[in-house]
Amino acid sequence: MHTKRQIQELLDSVGVRPNKRFGQHFLIDLNLMRLLVNSANINDNDIVLEVGCGTGSLTGELVEKAGFVIAVELDRTLAGLAKGSLANADNIEFINADVLKNKNTLSPTVISALESAREKYNGRVLLVANLPYNVASPTMLNLITGPVAADAMYVTVQKEVADRMTAVPGSGDYGTLSIFLSVAGDVKTIRVLRPTVFWPQPKVDSAMIGFVRKEEKYRRIEDMELFRETVNLFMGHRRKTLTACGRLARGRLAKINNWSEIFERGGIVPTSRPEQLSGEDYIAIANLCCSGLA
Ligand code: SAH
C-alpha cells in the first residue's frame, strides 16, 4: 500500500501530477483500503480484476491474496509506475488500456485475459478497485451481463452512483443500474467515504460498495439480451405508462403485439410507470416476451 507521501514521490519521480481527466483520486486512507480488501475475502484461487490500478497501491495487496491479478490502467505513466513497484510479483498481468471498448463492451484484451485466467484458476472472478468514476457504472454492468461475469465486486464509486445502485423502485435514484444489480445479486453500501480519504480530494462523497452475484436469481432470466432490451425500452421512458412504452418498442420487441396480455400475465398494472417496477417485474415481462417470440 502506498501512503499519500509515497504516491506524491512516485509521481514526482516521473514529473507528473494527478490527471483530473482520468479521475485520478488515490485512496490514501490505508485502513479503508484494508477494509476493501478484507470485504472481498480473496483466496489464492481467485482471479481479481483491478480497474485503474494507479501507482499499484491496492494492487500490492491483491497479488498477496489472489491467485491471479489483472490490473488495468489507462494512463501509461501510472501503468509504468505500478509495474515498477510490483516487479517481483509473478501472478499479475498489466494491461495498459481503457477498460472499456465502448459503453456496452469491455476491452477485448481485458476479456481475453479474464478468460485465459479462468482456464488456470478455478476460484471466483472478482472486481476489486477504487474505480475511475466515469467508467464505474458501465464496467460493473458489463461484468454482470458478461461475456465474463464477476462473482463479486468490491469497489469505491461516487456516492451518487452508489445511491443509484442500491435504490428501490419508485425512488428518484432508481434506474437501469439498480435493476441490473438487483436481479443479478445482492448489493450493499459498506461505508460512505468523505473526500479527505482521497488525494487529491474529489468534490463529492464516495462510497464503498459490495456486490455478490446470486446465480439462482440471475438464472431465471431466459434471454439476457432481451432482458436488457426490455429494461432499456421501459426505463428509457420512465414516466410514461407501460402501455405507451410498449408502442415505442424497437428491434425484437417491436414484434410483440400483445403487451396488455403480457402485463396481465405478469401481474403488472399497465398504467403503472416503468420506474415503479421491480427487477422481478422486468424478469417476468422479458421472459413472457421471450416465450412470445419463440
Ligand atoms: N487504485 C488507485 C488509483 C485510483 S484513481 C488508488 O486508489 O490509488 C483511478 C485510476 O483509474 C487512475 O489511475 C486513472 O488513470 C485510471 N483510469 C481512468 N480511466 C480509466 C479507464 N477508462 N480504464 C482504465 N483505467 C482508467
For ligand 1, whether the C-beta of 130 sits within 6 Å is yes
264: left (phi over 0), alpha (psi -120 to 50) or beta: alpha
**Domains of the chain, CATH where assigned:** 4-218 (3.40.50.150), 224-293 (1.10.8.100)
Cβ-Cβ contacts under 8 Å for 13 (sequence gap 6 or more): 81
Of 267, 282, 167, 277, nearest to 229 (Cα)? Answer: 282
Supply the pLDDT for residue 104: 83
CA–CA separation, 98 vs 59, rounded Å? 17
Of 136, 178, 139, 172, nearest to 156 (Cα)? Answer: 136
Q: Where are the alpha helices (DSSP H) in 14-107?
A: 30-40, 57-65, 76-85
The three three-digit cell numbers of residue 116, written as one number: 485465459
Supply the pLDDT for residue 290: 93
For ligand 1, whether the C-beta of 94 sits within 6 Å is no
Supply the pLDDT for residue 103: 84
How do residues 17-33 score in pLDDT, each as one tens digit?
Answer: 999 999 999 999 999 99
pTM for this model (two decimals):
0.93
Of 122, 95, 130, nearest to 24 (Cα)? Answer: 130
Of 212, 65, 219, nearest to 143 (Cα)? Answer: 212
Regions of the chain where pLDDT drops below 70? none
Radius of gyration of the chain (CA): 21
Residue 60 contacts residue 27 (beta carbons within 8 Å)? no
Supply the pLDDT for residue 205: 98
How many whole angstroms from 154 Cα to the centroid of ligand 1? Answer: 15
Please name the residue whose Cα sits nearest to atom 13 of ligand 1: 54
The three three-digit cell numbers of residue 41, written as one number: 475475502
Only one residue has cell 420512465, namely 238
How many whole angstroms from 134 Cα to the centroid of ligand 1? Answer: 10
Supply the pLDDT for residue 283: 97
The three three-digit cell numbers of residue 45, written as one number: 484461487
**Which atom of ligand 1 approaches the CA of 75 most closely?**
15
How do residues 214-264 score in pLDDT, each as one tens digit?
Answer: 999 889 999 988 999 999 999 999 889 999 999 999 999 999 999 999 999
For ligand 1, whether the C-beta of 25 sits within 6 Å is yes
Supply the pLDDT for residue 294: 78
